[in-house]
Chains A and B, each alone.
Chain A
Amino acid sequence: MESRVLKPVLAVYVGLFILFLYGPFIVLGILSFQQGPEGGPQFPIIEWSTYWYRHIFGLTPPSRVAPLPFGQSLIRSLTLAFMTMVTSTVLGVMSAQAFRSKFKGSGVVFYLIVLGMMVPGVLTGLGTALTANSLGIERHWWSTAYVTHVVYTFPFAFLVMLAILNRFDSSVEEASWSLGVPPMRTFRKVTFPLIFPGVLSAMLFAFTLSYDEFSRTLFASGRDQTLPLAIYGTFAVEIHPNIFAFGVLTTLFSFSLLTVYAILMTMSVRRAGKAAIQEDIA
């Protein structure tokens, strides 16, 4: 009885909840079309324009608003995210594979790995900085920040792979061995193509987490900033709608990444099969 009333009430609530999640973006998106360069980061919209988008790409005449110093840091962030993605996916697959046999000490190792995603970034960042300092190692985004990023993303890749391998029917591997195919080749030809969707998810996780990582990077990287650090730097100074326009663009970038992932995901199994034939025929 009451649930018949409750359901529509909850549905309306969920609508408001989603509005709460998305509201700031909507406002941000609207304000990114503010007139420039005089228009500020608030309502009302003086006049709709794409000024601030052009401003990001340096297509506007020089004004009192300095262009965002994002060019170099964007490249650094993408490179770092790629390095992190590859390393943590490889480590994740290897570790999850190891966990398929219950080896001694597996409990301790499990918690050690999962700790990497639980410990707040401020702490791992601080610890890495302290360790690097006392060893006299200079901090860089490609060294200290990189290893700290992997500490963060590797547990995600590990857990994704563990979930996939838990459901994996190991008799197909045994079948391959019994056909005379050595274990390494079995892994490449049977196991890997079958767990590939999981690998793809692990890669997506690692890439996006690293690309957006901020609190660890703050202490662990050196002079050269990554993109989130550069954005954080703008917090302290006056904000202009160009940062909003930039926010819209990075969001679009993330969504295109998601789309690519979704497409790869749907094709992966089929493609893995096709690739196997082509390699065999060649």
Chain B
Amino acid sequence: MAEHTDTAESAKNRTAYWLIAPGALWMTLFLAVPILMIVYVSFWTQTTFKIEPILTLASWKQFFASETYIGSLFTTIRLWLIVLAATFLLGYPTALFVGLFVKSKTISTVLLVICVIPFWTSFLIRVLAWRPMLGKEGAINIILQKLGLISSPIEALLFSEISVVIGMTQIYVVFMVGPIAFMLSRIDRNIIEAARDLGASFWRIFFKIILPLSLPGVIVGAIFVSVMVLGEFATAAALSGRKVNLLGNIIVTQVGSLKWALASVVGVILTVIMGLVIAGFLRVVDLKKEL
């Protein structure tokens, strides 16, 4: 009686390894190595036009000594929190309608598709489209003036933190709507009916049943939005008129002036923040269990 325990599994495994090897290798070489490279380079010695692999903490000290850089760190965190809150507050009612209130599957799919369609246009064009909306002679100011709500145009709408928040919210809110609507659509309607039969008010049902059950969706949406907003720089560059400097913008400027070491420091800080944020969200909800 031949024992061939190993051949049974290892034959299957061997095929799997051959299939996974190219992808794993690609990600190791072109993702893992570059990320580690950022960490490594952040300790290199930077002179005006040259960077040398001599390890030093100089760039790190430079970052934490500068008010501008520390300021951009706080701007990034503040903007991230505002956009996160805005996407949640604006997105949740839509998700509630699409995922729970619309009874027909077709209509809810159509509504979701309508929300997703803007993604098939260029990201930069979408950012740019806010300029004629928010400008001094922009659509919003014109409409508000026609309605007699304001007498003179609001200038602060464009090239300010507000415009960046509005732009980012519009671009990223769909990432909040999708996951929440998905979780809401999986709620058993009978539970809600039963609660209603027992005389519970809508708000009670909402806070006791609907919101807790949709929480995994909120977390997934929050992770999506956070990752994208924290790594942002283009929206700020296009809509803030250089008034808002996020960590991403610092990286771009530093690379522009060939300050690779400082750019790397910012990169590492960004990575750490992002890691903490994702870990924090995953602590709230065990996604593997919920999905």
Chains A and B directly touch (beta carbon < 8 Å): yes
A208 touching B35, Cβ below 8 Å: no
Q: How far is the CA of A254 from the CA of B125 in the complex (A)?
A: 13
A43 touching B122, Cβ below 8 Å: no
Q: Please tell me which stretch of A55-63, A172-180, A231-239 contacts chain B, meaning at least 4 of its Cβ atoms lie within 8 angstroms of it.
A: A231-239
Query: Which of A2, A235, A246 is B201 in contact with, Cβ under 8 Å?
Result: A2
Q: How far is the CA of A227 from the CA of B123 in the complex (A)?
A: 12
Contacts A27-B132, A116-B27, A239-B131 given; does A231 touch B267 at CB 8 Å: no
Task: Give the interface centre of A13, A17, A112, A124 by most chain B CB atoms within 10 Å.
Answer: A17
List, in ascending order, chain B residues with CB within 8 A of A151's CB.
Answer: 26-27, 30-31
Contacts A2-B202, A101-B12, A150-B30 given; does A231 touch B125 at CB 8 Å: yes
Contacts A41-B131, A42-B132 given; does A94 touch B19 at CB 8 Å: yes
Does any Cβ of B come within 8 Å of A23's Cβ?
yes
List, in ascending order, chain B residues with CB within 8 A of A100's CB.
Answer: 16
How many residue pairs link A and B with beta carbons under 8 A? The number is: 249
Query: Which of A18, A20, A232 is B124 in contact with, Cβ under 8 Å?
Result: A232
Does any Cβ of B come within 8 Å of A104's Cβ?
yes
Contacts A95-B19, A112-B28, A219-B255 given; does A28 touch B132 at CB 8 Å: yes
Does any Cβ of B come within 8 Å of A7's Cβ?
yes
Contacts A24-B130, A103-B17 given; does A42 touch B135 at CB 8 Å: yes
Q: Which A residue's beta carbon lies closest to that of B119?
A: A208
Q: Which B residue's beta carbon lies closest to that of A123?
A: B267
List, in ascending order, chain A residues with CB within 8 A of B41's CB.
Answer: 130, 134
Q: How far is the CA of A239 from the CA of B38 in the complex (A)?
A: 35
B115 touching A18, Cβ below 8 Å: yes
List, in ascending order, chain A residues with CB within 8 A of B69's CB.
Answer: none
Q: Please tell me which stretch of A188-196, A210-218, A264-272 contacts chain B, meaning at least 4 of its Cβ atoms lie within 8 angstroms of it.
A: A210-218
Q: How far is the CB of B193 from chain A (nearest CB, A)?
A: 11
Query: Which of B19, B101, B142, B201 is A7 in contact with, Cβ under 8 Å?
Result: B101
Interface residues of B in 23-43 (CB under 8 A from A): 23-24, 26-38, 41
Number of residues in B with C-beta < 8 Å to the partner? 82
Interface of A is mostly: helix
User: Residue-by-residue, is A123-147 near B (CB-CB < 8 Å gives 1, otherwise 0)?
Assistant: 1101111110110000000000001
Q: Which B residue's beta carbon lies closest to that of A115?
A: B31
B32 touching A124, Cβ below 8 Å: no
Query: Which of B33, B98, B132, B203 is A43 in contact with, Cβ under 8 Å?
Result: B132
Interface residues of A in 88-131 (CB under 8 A from B): 91-92, 94-95, 97-101, 103-104, 106, 109, 112-113, 115-116, 118-124, 126-131
List, in ascending order, chain B residues with CB within 8 A of A27's CB.
Answer: 129, 132-133, 138-139
Does any Cβ of B come within 8 Å of A156's Cβ?
no
A122 touching B252, Cβ below 8 Å: yes
Does any Cβ of B come within 8 Å of A168's Cβ?
no
Q: How far is the CB of A150 from chain B (nearest CB, A)?
A: 7
Hey, which bits of chain B sit against chain A, CB under 8 A? 12-13, 15-20, 22-24, 26-38, 41, 53, 90, 93-94, 96-98, 101, 111, 114-115, 118, 120-126, 128-133, 135, 137-139, 142, 170, 173-174, 201-203, 227-228, 230-234, 237-238, 248, 251-252, 255, 260, 263-264, 267, 270-271, 274, 278
A-B contact pairs, 10 of them (CB 8 A): A7-B101, A42-B135, A43-B142, A98-B17, A120-B227, A126-B264, A127-B38, A154-B23, A244-B128, A246-B125
